[in-house]
Amino acid sequence: MKYVIQAEDTICAICSPIGVGSIAVIRVSGPDAFRIVKKMFKAKNGKKFSNLELGRVYLGEIVDSHKVIDESICIFFKSPKSFTGEDVVEIHTHGGTFVPNAVLKVLVNHGGRIASPGEFSFRSYQNGKIDLLKAESIASLIASQTEMGANLSIKNLSGEISKKFNDIRNLAVTLLAEIEARVDFPEDQIPELDKKRISLLYEELISDSERILSTYSKGRLAFSGTRVTILGKPNAGKSTLLNVLLEEDRAIVSPNPGTTRDILEADIVHNGRRIIFYDTAGLRSTKGKVEAEGVRRAKDKAEFSDVVIILVEKKDFYKNQNIIDEFFNFVPRGKRFIVASKSDLFDKDIDLPLDTHIVSSKTRSGINSLLDKICEFSNVDIESDFAEGLLTTERQVALMNEGLVSLRKSQGLFEDDAYFEIVSIEIREFINSISDITGEVSNNDIYDKLFSSFCIGK
């Protein structure tokens, strides 16, 4: 779908999930929404269509060629007081598969068009009801799998993150005005340039931009979840631990080393936070190509994970106090969660590395506290971190990084006394990046990628 303006079309779609259910919701939006629904909806109170009040719920019947399809209710919203900013009708029918699709068919027969994924939200954006940041928040709210992800989406939907970007843009415009004033007007008509003040504006703008960019790490953890790779030597109990963490048998457990050769992915929600686990092949020297590839993938997965559980049998620490540095030195210390497994089989008191977590998959000892520690790693506080919103998408991060490159380049040119015309070009590039983030600048490529990921009906 190429998202170009098609305001003359009236679009319709089923907004609720298809399947067995009590109610289905169908949305109609566009200049002919009222005319189309007028042909098929008969209010039971006998009021004519022209006398129906906006925003009120009316019980009636959906009729096609004098045949009643369903008893339904309709709500009418007049432009611009609707989600899309257009005339909108919401039709609530009985659920299931046949009835909603039959109503949708009648709507199309009377001149409606089936909406593309995200087209309602796109029209809302085009009509100034939301910006791109709010559109992304709508998509993330629908896709939320945890309370934390939903809370973050709602906070961004309230406009907090948009305000941050607008403040940055306004500051950049102030900086640009200071620079371009020296280009557009003779020197004798404006005050002498205060280089110290301009330098402070650059520093403030870069600092604010870096601060908002730094929120992505927490935003990603809150919405997408904490990625946890489980590493260990063969038979350390990785697959058993995963099954206990998930409370179901997902990984094959066998006493034979090398059972797990590829990466198994599974996730849970603990304390309102999503945790994605990756069970990996046992780390050891091997000549087999398949096992060697499994070991390579395990190391790669550890590199891109937020947390790496290094699982070692408790008795192995008794045999070798340096086992972590000898076998797992490639794991950054900031990611390491050292876990001593099979504690029920080895009850001797031994010296363990600092902050080692002791568990027994058989007795479930230490399992819940391990999950609590993983949640603590994300270090996301709903009250403080969500107060002003967080970045949540790679699109936002990429554009913010591009903008910072231009801004720093402009700062360097300014400090080197380059021509102001050249200095201002890079400031404009920074402003364009911010405008792309919020959608202030029209960009069909962004629309195609963003709105096509929405579900139909939204």
On whether the CB atoms of residues 202 and 407 are closer than 8 A, the answer is: yes
Q: List residues bridging with 64 in a β-sheet.
A: 67
Tokens matching residue 305: 């994970």
Q: Which run of H or E residues covers position 24?
A: strand 19-29
3-state class of 249 per DSSP?
coil
Name the nearest CA neighbour of 89 among 18, 6, 24, 30. Answer: 30
Q: 11-131 belongs to which CATH class?
A: alpha beta
Distance CA 425, CA 203 (A): 18
Query: For residue 207, what are the contacts with CB-CB under 8 A and spacing of at least 6?
Result: none
Give me the tens of pLDDT residue by residue for the chain, a chain 458 residues long: 454 556 689 999 998 887 788 899 999 999 999 999 999 998 887 767 666 778 888 899 999 888 999 999 999 999 999 999 999 999 999 988 899 999 999 999 999 999 988 888 889 988 888 888 888 888 777 777 777 777 777 777 777 788 888 899 999 988 888 887 766 665 555 667 778 888 999 999 999 999 889 888 777 777 778 889 888 888 788 888 888 888 865 544 444 444 444 568 888 888 878 888 888 776 755 555 555 665 677 777 777 888 888 888 888 877 777 778 777 878 888 888 888 888 887 777 777 877 888 888 888 888 888 888 888 876 666 555 556 677 888 888 999 999 999 999 999 999 998 888 899 999 999 999 998 888 776 556 555 666 666 677 77
What CATH number is given for 223-378 in this structure?
3.40.50.300
Name the nearest CA neighbour of 339 among 258, 257, 268, 240. Answer: 240
pLDDT of residue 301: 75
pLDDT of residue 253: 45
pLDDT of residue 385: 58
Q: Is 277 exposed, middle or buried (0-12, 13-18, 19+ CB in 10 A)?
A: buried
On whether the CB atoms of residues 389 and 354 are closer than 8 A, the answer is: no
Count the helix, strand and coil residues of the chain and give each as a percent rounded to the nearest 5. Answer: 45, 20, 35
Angle of the 367-378 helix axis to the 238-246 helix axis, nearest 10: 80
Distance CA 458, CA 455 (A): 6
What's the Cα-to-Cα distance from 268 to each of 229, 244, 263, 390, rounded to whole Å?
14, 11, 17, 23
Query: For residue 273, what are the contacts with CB-CB under 8 A and spacing of at least 6?
Result: 146, 148, 222, 225, 226, 375, 378, 380
Peptide bond into 80 cis (omega under 30): yes
What's the Cα-to-Cα distance from 90 to each of 26, 28, 96, 338, rounded to whole Å?
6, 6, 17, 55
Distance CA 347, CA 339 (A): 15
The conformation of residue 129, written as its DSSP 8-state character, comes to: S
Q: List residues bridging with 226 in a β-sheet.
A: 275
**Domain spans in the chain, listed from the N-terminal domain onward:** 11-131, 150-215+389-439, 223-378
Q: List residues bridging with 275 in a β-sheet.
A: 226, 268
Select 150-215+389-439's CATH number: 3.40.50.10540, 1.10.10.10, 1.20.120.430, 3.30.70.20.
Answer: 1.20.120.430
* Torsion (CA) 360, 361, 365, 371 in degrees, nearest 10: 120
Query: For residue 265, what are the contacts with CB-CB under 8 A and spacing of at least 6?
Result: 276, 277, 278, 279
pLDDT of residue 251: 47
DSSP labels, 190-202: SPPP-HHHHHHHH
For residue 316, the one-letter residue type is D
pLDDT of residue 438: 85
Query: If DSSP states are collapsed to H, E and C, what string results for 403-456?
Result: HHHHHHHHHHHHHCCCCHHHHHHHHHHHHHHHHHHHCCCCCHHHHHHHHCCCCC
pLDDT of residue 110: 93
Residue linked to tokens 């091997």: 286
* Torsion (CA) 347, 350, 352, 356 in degrees, nearest 10: 20
For residue 121, the one-letter residue type is S
Tokens matching residue 384: 């403080």
